[in-house]
């Protein structure tokens, strides 16, 4: 026995083959045929395979199971029966429940004459002679098969052939997305997202959506870049005509960074503020020289020279006003590096002391003490005292 259900739900059709002896229909995760209807129970009804066909049984639900408009507890399914569960409609296609077999017809009465041909001679009689067309059984089977095929074709057509409204919506979306206006592309994307199912293949639709989103991103980025450039020029023009007004730059840069966080003009504005706050071009040149000296001393592991440069930076009011944050960063970095250097040199001095090379150990402690970075300098002086 063969059977299947055409499930119509949420505007879409799908086919569920009745392959098992028992098929539970409901909204629960354990249901064999899962529906998405709030008014349907988790295990609403079941379809059983019997010796005479398929039978649907309501699982004692509050609303019952509706077959062909009638609420039933159980029902022997016939081909074309409609099962209504909430907003979902299930159409049964397949073998009907067996009906009572018709009594065999009486055997034909014996011939009372012998057929002859045109010459009057006896001829052979064939049993199929006198019959016209197919019998009732074969005809019913052919009709059932034709109806099943027609139903499947209609379901397939409903999924694959877009309606005229869907075509028009797709064309409108494509026309909007082709424009170079962000608002138009957004409208086109919304039309794609509400396109009737089956208008185009899902994969093609997703690709079109992604391209529309990418175009929106590029258009918005271009618009933002133009706006950022105009705002930068406005700030710069005011700064150039009011070079002593560093407060204006200080107030405008945070706003600019908030509005255009990806703009390459942020660095230039901050550099101009640093130059203006640091005492002008000549002071900026002095600052650049101090930074170069600091890097040179660090490259030679000359921590005394590096700390001397840093102390001069910290003592210069213009440097602190224009580069205070960077000076604090230099201080933290230099102290961490010297801490590691101090630990390594201390270990080396202890090893030399154990080898009897006391003078070499003393020179190491003297060098560490001269750097002037506390608490390391004090520790080095203490160790030096113990050796003397």
| Tens digits of residue pLDDT in 183-225 | 898 899 999 999 888 888 888 888 899 999 988 888 887 878 8
Tokens of 317: 């009011």
Tens-digit pLDDT profile for residues 50-72 = 988 899 999 988 888 999 999 99
| Percentage of residues of the chain with pLDDT beyond 70 | 83
Q: What is the pLDDT at residue 126?
A: 47
Which pLDDT band, with edges at 50, 70 and 90, does 98 fall under? very low
Quick check: bond before 201 cis, omega within 30? no
pLDDT at 127: 45
Where is pLDDT greater, at 159 or 269? Answer: 269
Tell me the pLDDT band of 117, cut-offs 50, 70 and 90: low
Q: Which residues face 17 on adjacent strands?
A: 4
Phi, psi dihedrals of residue 54, rounded to the nearest 5°: -100, 140
Confidence (pLDDT) at 129: 47
Confidence of residue 252 (pLDDT cuts 50, 70, 90): confident
- Classify burial at 82, counting beta carbons within 10 Å of its beta carbon; exposed 0-12, middle 13-18, buried 19 or more: middle
- The model's pLDDT over 120-166, given as tens digits with 9 standing for 90+, comes to 665 554 444 444 455 566 777 788 778 878 767 765 655 544 568 88
| Whether the Cβ atoms of residue 79 and residue 144 lie closer than 8 Å to each other | yes
Here the tokens at position 324 are 């205070």
Span 311-327, average pLDDT: 83
Indicate whether 88 pLDDT > 50. yes
Q: Write the CA distances from 277 to 243, 266, 300, 310, integer angstroms.
A: 10, 16, 31, 19
Give the C-alpha distances (Å, rounded to integers) separating 257 from 254, 261, 264: 5, 5, 10
Which whole-number Å values give the CA distances from 35 to 69, 94, 128, 354, in the listed order? 19, 21, 52, 85
Q: Where does the pLDDT of residue 303 fall: very low under 50, low under 70, confident under 90, or very high at 90 and above? A: very high
The residue-averaged pLDDT of 83-87 equals 90
What's the mean pLDDT in 370-385? 89
How high is the pLDDT of residue 100?
Answer: 43
* Band (10; pLDDT cuts 50, 70, 90): confident
pLDDT confidence tier of residue 240, bands split at 50, 70 and 90 = confident
d(CA 374, CA 292): 24
pLDDT of residue 243: 67
Mean pLDDT confidence for 356-382: 90
Distance CA 304, CA 297 (A): 8
The chain-wide mean pLDDT, for the chain, equals 82
List all residues 6 or more positions away from 386 whose beta carbon is below 8 Å from its beta carbon: none
What backbone phi and psi angles, to 5 degrees, belong to 33? Answer: -115, 110
pTM of the model: 0.33
Contact 225, 263 (CB under 8 A): yes
| Band (318; pLDDT cuts 50, 70, 90) | confident
Q: Which residues touch 310 (CB under 8 Å, ≥6 apart)?
A: 294, 327, 330, 331, 334
- Which of 84-98, 261-275, 367-381 has the largest mean confidence? 367-381
Question: What is residue 6's predicted lDDT score, i.e. its pLDDT?
Answer: 93
Quick one: DSSP state of residue 116?
A: B
Q: Please compute the mean of the pLDDT values over residues 233-245 and round it to a whole number.
A: 79
Residue 322 or 56, more confident: 56
Rounded to whole angstroms, the Cα distance separating 366 from 378 reads: 11
């Amino acid at each position: 026995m063969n059977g299947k259900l055409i499930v119509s739900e949420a505007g879409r059709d799908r086919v569920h083959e009745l392959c098992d002896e028992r098929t539970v229909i409901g909204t629960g995760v354990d249901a064999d045929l899962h529906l998405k209807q709030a008014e349907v129970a988790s295990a609403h009804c079941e379809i059983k395979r019997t010796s005479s066909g398929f039978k649907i049984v309501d699982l004692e639900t509050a609303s019952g199971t509706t077959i062909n408009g009638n609420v039933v507890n159980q029902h022997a399914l016939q081909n074309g029966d409609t099962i209504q569960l909430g907003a979902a409609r299930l159409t049964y296609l397949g073998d009907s429940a067996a009906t009572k077999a018709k009594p065999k017809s009486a055997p034909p009465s014996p011939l009372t004459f012998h057929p002859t041909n045109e010459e009057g001679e006896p001829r052979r009689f064939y049993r199929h002679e006198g019959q016209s067309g197919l019998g009732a059984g074969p005809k019913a089977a052919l009709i059932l098969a034709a109806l099943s095929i027609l139903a499947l074709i209609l379901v397939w057509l409903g999924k694959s052939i877009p309606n005229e409204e869907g075509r028009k919506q797709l064309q409108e979306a494509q026309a909007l997305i082709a424009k170079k206006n962000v608002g138009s592309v957004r409208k086109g994307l919304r039309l794609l997202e509400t396109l009737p199912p089956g208008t185009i293949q899902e994969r093609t639709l997703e690709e079109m959506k992604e391209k529309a989103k990418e175009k929106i991103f590029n258009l918005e980025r271009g618009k933002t870049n133009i706006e950022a450039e105009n705002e930068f020029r406005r700030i710069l023009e005011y700064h150039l005509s009011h070079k002593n007004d560093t407060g204006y730059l200080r107030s405008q840069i945070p706003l600019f960074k908030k509005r255009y966080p990806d703009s390459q003009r942020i660095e230039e504005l901050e550099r101009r503020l640093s130059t203006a706050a640091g005492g002008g071009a000549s002071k900026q040149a002095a600052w650049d020289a101090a930074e170069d000296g600091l890097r040179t001393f660090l490259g030679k592991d000359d921590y005394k020279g590096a700390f001397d440069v840093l102390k001069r930076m910290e003592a210069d009011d213009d440097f602190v006003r224009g580069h205070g944050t960077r000076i604090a960063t230099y201080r933290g970095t230099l102290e961490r590096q010297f801490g590691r250097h101090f630990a390594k040199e201390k270990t080396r001095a202890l090893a030399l002391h154990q080898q009897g090379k006391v003078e070499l150990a003393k020179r190491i402690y003297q060098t560490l003490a001269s750097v002037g970075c506390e608490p390391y300098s004090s520790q080095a002086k203490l160790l030096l005292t113990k050796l003397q």
